Every structure is written in structure tokens, then in C-alpha cells.
Amino acid sequence: MKSKIKLTFILILIFSCSKENKTKHTTDLTKKVEYGNIISDYLDSKKYEPTLIFNNPYDNNKKSNIRLGDNEIKWSEKENALEIIINGTKINTSKKVTLNYNWGNSIDSVNFANNVRQIKLYESDSLLGFVLTNEPCTGLGCSVNYQLIYDLKSKSESYFGRFRTGFELELYDFNHDSRIDFLSKTFYGRNVEMIDTTEFIMYSQTKKGNFEEFRTEEQNRFTFKHIYPERDKDSLMEKFEENWIEKINNHGR
């Protein structure tokens, strides 16, 4: 009789453990992965910190003439374009276009910009980074902005565009090769299932001071994509695809 009781207890214990492991395994498979947070944490770990930042919100006190470190910077709207004067050198957004696609498969004309929203000085690298906007904005124009990276030594200009992907300008060091990197964003619109796709592409500074797509002998483009629902938030619909210089997503999905 004691043997039967002992055997029954062992079988119950085995069944309970098996059920617990199965439940845990199922939970792990359906556990929500916040890819947006994974991307943010990864980029924060690679970011260059600017020496100085100037913010210029759209209000009655906005400026158009400042000093940032040793640099005198002025800007004004000229013939439906933005003219910026940096230490006496004039640059104009007329006829300038973005290096990246900011929406779908099309580059954008930078002459839509008429205001400088932000300037960052990276003093040790002799770089200025500008966020350019159109103000006052209406409709889809409120989601558009441009990034200008200006090399103070070579006076080269590199333009990028954004649509519905934030207003920040950041510089990075992704692969410790002594070249400064920039990450462009391309918004691919919303499909019939209300799913958005944003593609991130790596650009690096050349010896001439301008930026171009980073490539190696083995790979022509380094990119990753975040695919996500418009609103919250079916985690099973969220995806992350990468063809990058290192592994970003370590969650096995």
C-alpha cells in the first residue's frame, strides 16, 4: 500500500513539473518584446555627446543669430529657401536634396525648410549638426524635418530627411573605426493592416568631410527595420529585421 501511495505521489510531482515547464515555455514564446526600447538602448550606447546644444522653439523669442562656441551662425529665409551663414560662409538649401529616402522611395528637396530648430556643436570633431523645419506648419508638413551636418574644416554639407520618425539629430560610433556615423530613417508608410515600417541606414563621414552610405567589401548596405502596429500594440505583429554590423536583437524573434 505504501508503495502505491509513493508511486502516485511521484507521478503527480512529475506531471506538475511538466505542466509548469510547459506553461513557462509558452509564456516565454508569447512574451512581449519591446523593439522600440531595444533600438533606443542600443543607439544610446553608441551615441556621441555634443559639446554644446542650441534649441530654437517656434515662439515670439526665436533667434536667427547666435554664437555657439567659437562659431557665429546666422540664418534667414531667402527666395523660398533657407540661407545659413557659418563664420562668414554662406550655404543655401535651394536645390539641395536629401541623401536618404525620407518617405518611401523618394528623396526630398531641402528648400521646404525655412527655420533652424536646433544646432549641435561637436567641437572635437569640427562638426555642426542642424535640425531644419518649416514653420508654421500644416498637415503632413508638420511631420517633416531635415538634418544638415556641416564640416567646419572642409565646409562640406550633408543633408538628410525625416518624415514621422522624430526630430532629433545624433551622431554615432557604430564600429570603432575612427569614422563618425549618422543613422538615416526612412518611413515606408502604413499598409492595409495599419502596420508601419521604419528603415535605419548607416552613413559614415569620408576623408573629405561629407557623409556617404557605409559599406565594406563584403556588404554594400548596413540597415535594420522596425515593423510595428500604428497603435498599441499587438506584440505578435511587431517585427525587427537586421542586416547590421553586429547583433542588436538578442531575443530570438
Residue 10 confidence (pLDDT): 46
Residue 146: which of 203, 202, 190, 103 has the closest Cα? Answer: 103
Residue 173 lies in domain: 34-243
Residue 250 lies in a domain: no
Residues in the chain with pLDDT values less than 50: 2, 4-5, 7-15, 18-29
Residue 23 lies in a domain: no
Residue 6 lies in a domain: no
Measured CA distances, 219 to 56, 103, 119, 214 (Å): 39, 24, 33, 9
Residue 11 confidence (pLDDT): 44
Q: How far apart are the first and last CA of the chain?
A: 51
Residue 213 lies in a domain: yes
Residue 21 lies in a domain: no
Residue 29 lies in a domain: no
Q: What is the pTM of this model?
A: 0.83
Residue 233 confidence (pLDDT): 55
Residue 251 lies in a domain: no
Q: What secondary structure letter does DSSP report for 191?
A: -
Residue 8 lies in a domain: no
Dist CA 189 CA 168 (whole Å) = 20
Residue 236 confidence (pLDDT): 54
User: Is-contact 117 167, C-beta < 8 A?
Assistant: yes
Residue 15 confidence (pLDDT): 46
Could you give the number of structural domains in the chain?
A: 1
